[in-house]
Amino acid sequence: MPQYPDFIIGSMRLGSWGKNLSKAELKSFVDRCLELGLNHFDHADIYGGYTTESWFGDLIKSDSNYQKAIQITTKCGIGYIADQHPEHYVKHYNLSKDHIIASAEQSLKNLGVEQIHSFLLHRPDYLLDPEAVALAFEHLLSSGKVKHIGLSNFSYEQSVLLHQLQPLDVLQLEISAMQPDLFSTAIPGFCQLENIALSSWSPLGGGSIFSPRPDEKCQRILKVLQALQGKYNSDIDNLLLAWLRTHPAQIIPITGTAKIERIEAYMTRGKFQLDRQDWYLVLQAARGEKVA
């Protein structure tokens, strides 16, 4: 199983799709993450309309210490309509062998790293050829361009199919108290048995629970978490992260914030797990009913 730090730093909102940090702000943010021991950054080729990898890569290329210290996850496979790709006239998926290989090579150039730590297929392609995917993965691994391979947003059945052809190292999925359906699937057990790392994007539910007008589900979850704050001496953010980290699949949260103070809080106050019954209290609130 690949080794990751306590949290993976999500990069989608750092660039033009989010906070749009200046170069100086990005350097300060990355430097503080590294000081905290958080050296793994999650990217995708489409972030920022195909601009965020290169923008982040400018920082990596500026100092050989970054090239040595920073590890990268990036993803490919979504054909996004953007100025950078005028040939795209419809949003689509492309997981052909040639596209996967070309995407990895482009990401290496964009980011200025010698090897991509974890290279993932971003979303399932309806025209997917499993054997072609396996050949692409085999090429990237054998060439040393990629250290680990995996999938993002694939179902259990799709993951098992590809794992049989080329063993996977990591799955990245939407998992949170607001989106707990994964725990009713075979994926957590599959990852544990096959020694596959499991990471969670949007571990705080995209901030829905912090909305000024949370929906009924979020209100139920919020009520439970507020009641648990005193017991764990924790804020809502870290209780949500602890809920994920309590699972024996050792789920790795991917942060979605550009605010370094929140990441500092995750590191200093977020390393705990919930009691079993408290874990189920949160699940019950998410489902709106008791477990069977």
CATH number of the domain where residue 33 is located: 3.20.20.100
- Mean per-residue pLDDT, 87-106: 98
- Give the chain's length: 292
94 occurs within a structural domain: yes
Q: Are 284 and 290 in contact (CB under 8 A)?
A: yes
pLDDT confidence of residue 269: 78
Q: CA 93, CA 35: separation in Å to the nearest integer?
A: 37
Q: Known catalytic residue: 47?
A: yes
Q: Is the pLDDT of residue 270 over 90?
A: no
pLDDT confidence of residue 1: 83
- Mean per-residue pLDDT, 4-19: 96
245 occurs within a structural domain: no
- Mean per-residue pLDDT, 26-42: 98
- When divided into structural domains, the chain yields a total of 1
80 occurs within a structural domain: yes
- 282 confidence band (pLDDT: 50, 70, 90): very high
Q: Which domain holds residue 43?
A: 8-174
164 occurs within a structural domain: yes
Token pair for residue 244?
């994920």
Q: Are 201 and 173 in contact (CB under 8 A)?
A: yes
Q: Is the pLDDT of residue 271 over 90?
A: no
213 occurs within a structural domain: no
190 occurs within a structural domain: no
Q: Which of 47, 50, 66, 266 is catalytic?
A: 47
Q: Are strands 78-79 and 92-93 parallel, antiparallel or unpaired?
A: antiparallel
138 occurs within a structural domain: yes
157 occurs within a structural domain: yes
- 268 confidence band (pLDDT: 50, 70, 90): confident
Token pair for residue 11?
């990069």
Backbone torsion region of residue 202, taken as left when φ is above 0, otherwise alpha when ψ lies between -120 and 50, otherwise beta: left
